[in-house]
Structure 1
């Protein structure tokens, strides 16, 4: 399943609807803008660095690995 982004952009103007002429909202009128981002990230995959090998479970807690330079 791939990730997707849903953008909901809602602009609300606090103004009267029944004016005979179209006009730009005045500074005294309240306006606000809401932008909502919904993110669904894809499932995480294990990434390996080049040259790195998967280790056996017994090697993961090995003292040799912890103190290696």
Structure 2
């Protein structure tokens, strides 16, 4: 059996872990087993919250270079 690769645009695009299940049907109505793909998670993480700043480094005076 020949391997066939299909590319299909999904409108709207699937995102953030949504799943899509597809099958292929030929002209003789033979249906392939279903296959599932999961969209990547593109949600940005929450911003960090800075609650404390510690300066534990001694002062430095001079020129760089």
- Coarse TM-score class (shorter-chain normalised): 0.3 to 0.5
Structure of greater relative contact order (alpha carbons < 8 Å, 6+ residues apart):
1
Higher strand content, 1 or 2? 1
- Largest Rg, 1 or 2: 1
